[in-house]
Structure 1
Amino acid sequence: MATVTFSQVPLLFFARISGLLVAVLVLFWALSFKSSFLPRHSSSQEDQGLIYAALHPLFMVIGFILISGEAILVHRWLPGSRSLKKSVHLCLQGVALASGIFGIWTRFQGKDGIVANFYSLHSWMGLICILLFGAQWLMGFLSFWHRGEVRTVRLRLLPWHIFLGLYTYGLAVATAETGLLEKLTFLQTQRNVSKHSPESMVVNSLGLGLALVSGIVILAAVSPKYEALQTKPIYSTHTKKCSSS
């Protein structure tokens, strides 16, 4: 059974606390500032787009980023066999991928269509992130269900799998940051929202929260495991003298 080190417990705790803070902030933003997600001159028909516009940050932040971060941490806290951890990791990443695809789909439900919404750095990074995440998940799915591969091949691919997973997670957070900046710039220039308004403070706090939770998740993922430290041989001057005598 896997053991979590004492040093990892604070990381896991702060990862959950910061993730909860981010979830509360994005929910508060979407529910309390509904007018920010409506067209400037909105009609009753156009108001129906509020649902899709508000669902985009909810699914991309909570469904995609936070759940994928939890999937990364599965190997650090979940007890049981390696197969169980891999299956839970794969399922959580599948939920995150589905949330990301649906979140992007909601952005294309406006009257302007796909091309009009695919123009910014945020949209380009988002598409690249989803494609990388989908390829990463597919590779993990095939590896999980086809375990007859040569062990040396699997071991060679594992570092790349870990690297691409952390890179894609970091790219997702960076994409969300560009989206928040884009939205806040639009609100301040087109809607005359003050730079020191409550909504500006909420959006800025959400950006800082995402940066915090991503740093904690990545640090917890790359920190050494307890089992590895326990099995690592310890050499001392006394042992060297005994072996040489």
Structure 2
Amino acid sequence: MAVASAIPFSLLLLMRITGMMAAMLVVVWVVHFRGGMTLISEDQGLIRNVHPVLMLVGLILLNGEAMLIYKTALGTKNYKKVLHLVLQAFALALGVTGIWAAYKFHNDKGIGGFYSLHSWLGLACILLFGIQWLAGFASFWNTRSGRINKHTVLPWHSFLGLYIYGLAVAAAETGFLERLTFLQASRTISRDSLEALVVNCLGLVLALLSGCVILCAITPRMSKDDVYRALQ
């Protein structure tokens, strides 16, 4: 039976707007206030600045879009499966690169890594993301996997996807707080500075975005008959 998305257009529009705002704010933060970003530089601070951008774009923005592909994209089911898989692969690649950038900064500076709640959440998120991607590929692209097996795996795949997304948001929020605390404690910026305002706004926008994504994800799809009856 054909299905259609039951996601209200206004909710989908709000999700896209907040996603663009989050991307814009994180880029403004690292480029305008923190001096820019690059993967290759003698300035380790520029390498560190890659981390928040790639983690947010990969594990939150791309991941969120990939989670909703079956409800938002047009096309056949196989096309949506391919798009879902590819977007998640890109998200994972960006996440791994972002983790590497943070590790390289800490290693080159001689700073111990993986000591904070932020780093533990981030590491757990990227490990679970990799396991989820491999498990999903094995379950839903394996021609030997029967329909009953896929039917059993799907609810757990969906739950773990939402859980990982929640971990990514929690890791990002704690990361913003950790970085802002370090900057303020070292008197690099003041508590009422414009940079502090930008980072706090970024955290609020991300909280709003995550709510929109999760609400879109749990909104059930409707058959065409259901849509017709709802409009009567």
Could you say whether these structures have the same fold, taking a TM-score greater than 0.5 normalized by the shorter chain as the test?
yes
1:202 to 198, 203, 216: 198
1:8 paired residue number: 8
2:32 paired residue number: 32
Q: May I ask how many residue pairs the two structures share in their alignment? A: 224
2:98 paired residue number: 103
1:177 to 168, 173, 183: 173
1:131 paired residue number: 127
RMSD, matched Cα: 2.4
Map 1:89-238 → 2, pairs under 5 A: 89-110=84-105, 111-113=108-110, 116-227=112-223, 230=226
1:78 paired residue number: 73
CA distance in 1, matches of 2:117, 2:54: 19
Q: 8 Å contact 1:63–1:95 — kept in the other structure? A: yes
1:21 paired residue number: 21
CA distance in 2, matches of 1:206, 1:65: 13
- Give how far 1:112 is off: 3.3
- Give how far 1:61 is off: 0.8
Segments of structure 2 that go 5 or more residues without pairing to the other structure are: none
Instruction: Render the CA deviation track for 1:189-243: whole Å, top value 9, x for unaligned.
Output: 1134221110110010111111111110110010111218729x99xxxxxxxxx
User: Tell me, what secondary structure is at the counterpart of 2:223?
Assistant: helix
Aligned AA for 2:23? Answer: A
Segments of structure 1 that go 5 or more residues without pairing to the other structure are: 38-45, 235-245
Instruction: Render the CA deviation track for 1:4-25: whole Å, top value 9, x for unaligned.
Output: 34x5222211111000000000
- Give how far 1:147 is off: 2.9
Structure number with bigger Rg: 1
Instruction: Render the CA deviation track for 1:168-193: whole Å, top value 9, x for unaligned.
Output: 00110000000011011111111342
Map 1:46-65 → 2, pairs under 5 A: 48-65=43-60
Instruction: Render the CA deviation track for 1:137-183: whole Å, top value 9, x for unaligned.
Output: 10111123213322112111110000000000011000000001101
- Give how far 1:47 is off: 5.4
CA distance in 1, matches of 2:109, 2:188: 23
Q: Tell me the TM-score normalised to structure 1 length.
A: 0.84
Q: 8 Å contact 2:183–2:189 — kept in the other structure? A: yes
Shifted more, 136-145 versus 217-226: the winner is 136-145
Q: 8 Å contact 1:63–1:99 — kept in the other structure? A: yes
CA distance in 2, matches of 1:199, 1:63: 23
